[in-house]
Chains A and B, each alone.
Chain A
Amino acid sequence: MRGETGRANLFTRRAFIVGGAQALLTAGLAGRLYQLQVVESERYTVLADENRINMQLLPPARGRIFDRFGRILAENRLNYRLVVVPEAALDLDAALSKIAALVTIEDHDRERVLREARRKEVFVPIMVRENLTWEEVSQIEVNAPDLPGVMIDVGRRRLYAFGADTVHIVGYVGAVTESELTDDPLLSLPDFRIGKNGAEKTLETSLRGEAGARQVEVNAYGRVIRELGRRAGRPGDDHMLTVDLGLQQYVAARFGDESGSAVVLDIHSGEILALASLPSYDPNMFTAGISNQQWRELISHPRFPLSNKSITGQYSPGSTFKMIVALAALEGGEVSPGHRFYCPGYLELGNRRFRCWRRHGHGHVAMVKGLTQSCDVYFYEVAKRVGIDRIAAMAERFGFGRTLDIELPGEKPGLVPTSDWKLAAIGEPWQGGETLVVGIGQGYLLTTPLQLAVMVARIANGGIAVQPRILGETIRDGQPLAPERPAFPTMGMSPAHLDIVREGMLNVVNDPEGTAYRARIEEPTLAMAGKTGSVQVRRISESEHRSGVVKNEDRPWKERDHALFVAYAPIERPRYGVAVVVEHGGSGGSVAAPIARDILREVQRRDPSARAPLLAPAVRPSESA
């Protein structure tokens, strides 16, 4: 039994050693737990929250765009989308077939859905089709019991109610490209749209608003379990434009099939009342998804519907520039208003003969007659005396040669040539003959229709350096934000000189000898004053001159002259200015002037500047279809 006792004692000693070891190991576990749960607890708590809490952006409603009378130009419509949740639909292919029996689904959409379904988690809804009509929505809803996992989801879609009439002003929205990404997280949302052109682009940050967010708890697979919190965003600001939609539509309609541009503005405030570029296109094509063919047609169209010709089209001003030449001479004192030059139908300089548009000449011509009959020789003579640099200086005072900072993207500066410019840009000294050509608004000179409208406004308003603008009030939460609008400075022109130029413009339309007499407005209270311009787009050769001028109408469209007309009305206390460019239209007097006349008659009838602009409704109307 001694052996048995020894064995027991040995065992007991060792058993207590093991028991102690167990206690120590347990203490070790507790120590480790203390380290994790107490010492490092904070760090792991943060990690746990990062695990489970997802931020989801709530895109704000994009601000709406109104015309000056509160007519809605760009708004958000509900976009009914058909989505399917693969998990709930069980057999996705069969579900798609059932859907296809109710609403049309393109084959490529079907393939895309199946492709996306393989890539995404089974509970992520996949968009099958968007822009469902009411009939389609009700078809789906009625058959809902047969269509597990198929749902109608409501998104927002931008709608341009007057599409093609306003696209060059309002612009359109489109998907965000890589280069447009900023630190605004909204831009990364797959469905997000930003302004791509027009006011939509200029006003992007203001229209966009601020994203709201909701915090949701998700599980390890990303499924939303519940909403933890929500921060309301701020909807985008609404914006009024200075444009009068009715006038805008009138201008577009008046152009008919002609291409070109017209700008109508208030000569005192600079508010653009209409800004048309033709032909146009419907921006709703872009939001609804444009087909490849439609896109190719748009970009290869010979009349460039995509470009906003009012601000990006650069044309020689032609004879509409003669007011500038006249004013340069008057202000500089080189030519007195009564000084007469003789026009035999041409002017010879060196060995070159510069022709007047009237082959047989105008005879003795003073300034008012020169403008009335648009005598080229008279302005050759004037330009020769004034010189290119003084003409250029006067042109720049009237807004030519630089952008006018209209609030639309893509504005072009045009070009006012000087002797220095030619030396720098072409590397050759200025030639005297080139001054003569600029004197009748041709040569290197390039202007935009907007610049022509501003020129006529500054002449008509008595030499106030009015600046054009197209943005009206910003409306945030139903309250207009009134921006500071400083008064325009005077240009310091002599009123007498402006009177002479205006008398010439009056006669252009109202004197039987005037180049646009047939386009006059006969109601005396509405009567207009203006100036014609016709611009050759190709050089007419000497042989053609000898064989007799080929009539415009007989030439291919692309080779016909541009027809221009600038005008203001009424004569007494003028209010409205207009510039019309009809591309390859023919002569300014016979093509552009009648359009300008009708526009001026319409704008005076509507008289948008005299009517108080209406604010957009303070309460957003429901954004339902």
Chain B
Amino acid sequence: MPDKTVLVCQGTGCVSAGAEQIHISLEREIAELGLGGDVQVKRTGCHGFCQQGPLAVVEPEGIFCTRVKVEDTPDIAQSLLSQKKPPERLFYRDPLTGKVIPHYRDITFYSRQQRTVLKNCGYIDPEEIDDYLAVGGYEALRKTLLEMSPEQVIDTVKRSGLRGLGGGGFPTGRKWESCRRASQESRVESRESGRKTLGSGLQTPDSYVVCNADEGDPGAFQDRSVLEGDPHSVLEGMIIAGYAVGARVGYIYVRAEYPLAVKRLEIAIAQAREKGFLGKNILGNDFDFDIEIFQGAGAFVCGESTALVLSLEGKRGMPKPLPRPRTTQVGLWDKPTLLNNVKTFASIRWIITRGADWFAGRGTKKSKGTAIFSLTGKTANCGLIEVPMGISLREIVFDIGGGIPGGKAFKAVQTGGPSGGCLPAELLDTPVDFDSLTDAGAMMGSGGMVVVDEDTCMVDLARYFLDFTQKESCGQCSLCVLGTLQMLNILNSITCGRGRPEDIDLLIELGEAIKMGSICGLGQTAPNPVLTTVRYFREEYEAHIYERKCPARVCKDLISYRILPDKCKACMICLRGCPVEAITGGKKQIHMIDQDKCTRCGVCLDVCPERFSAVECIPGRLDNTLHSA
């Protein structure tokens, strides 16, 4: 056994920054130093701290090397030879205190987390089933098949209190139970009709298990990370689910935009088949189950269960009209279908091996276990986090996220993506669980958590989300497809400086109508980003409408650039950089911006040397007369 292991993260973020070359180079350096027998270099899935990537962790000490470059690999290899720590420049530096922290367990980003579903992400090689087996992989499946009846499995999941982690929060055990019942009924039916049409020889499965990995929410990437970092945990959960509900076929509906996740899933499925965890008579039992991958073709609405099922059938993914039977009753090819999210399936193995009580012992009364978020935006630390349900937003943003860098002020945290809402500083003590977030007007959603600071315009952010959902509306419900367009037009006119006083009330009225008049979750939640920003940041809307000012200095038509005469050194840099020749002046002649010509592209601000900082962006529009005065 090697004494030391260097884990090189191969998540999408780190790979994009050159992790593959780092892995190769590190292996070579270590071999050259003759350390091949003592040190193992291992590829792993996502460590979660993508912002600091590419990452390499030296175990067993847990030394955390950040922003590693190929040039750093000789030094890392040398440090392993001399039994010293790698050079300090690679260590994490606390963005607020500047303190250097060599061990990841001491970094608040990690120390405040409670990793369960993500436990093995970043520690095992996702392309090696033996790695997964070494950390107890497929033990839950073994226990299920050898010791438990399907009813006992369902009972355990029910008692654990697990709720669907795809955003809906529906109790998982109840869903499984209802699918099992429907599946049994369907089997009886097909046996009866089979007798009538005896001899057709066609046998179709009675029910299906489908994993929803169509992570369409912009700003969320936790499903991708789990699939890339620990694909077997998802497969194991699906197989157990297949046993529990009585299905023999499973599908993983994964975004085609996630090529690495698809590749690792393909490898994992092939390895699981080889080891006999998938296929016929699994572990010698009278239970057959197999899994296929289906690549989604890019439609946000396909995250909705009935739309996803239609998409799997090769049709347009449009949610079925109301009243519609539940997918657990009438799903894929009209058979009972159990549809759960990636993280829900990945949680199953822990519930089976550690027990329902252990799982139910964490979290809050109504939301058990942990929540996974993609913490991004304007926090010092960005990345993938897993926290116990009930933790406050403040702890996530300021302890794990490390607060807002650059001395900027926190403005809001957006959860739930285009279906969610923006919560202001006053609500930072809101506990993070399904119900509290919904009560505050946001939602758990699929787990995107975007932090914004004073430089983000809330009207523009609302417009951004609405623009997204408007384009993704499938077009069935007039209120959804046309209502969101009207809301978008209003928001566009507000951000362009043509807002009218009645617009705010109109937005609220339209929003409420769209929520009531849409048949699926997309339309029912699309107005949320607008409604919550109006609720908590009304003054920003009013500044746009009444004062024609964008306080965050984002909306181009409501800002101005100006050159501060006392700071301008007349260096001509901005004058030459201006694409529309709006800057006048000359050598030794203070520059000025012609406000009529200025397109507010911001080039002058970007190019003005930092030691001068003579260009300023201000809310509101200046006119030339005022400016010259």
- Say whether A and B bind each other: no
Query: B residues bordering A, Cβ < 8 Å?
Result: none
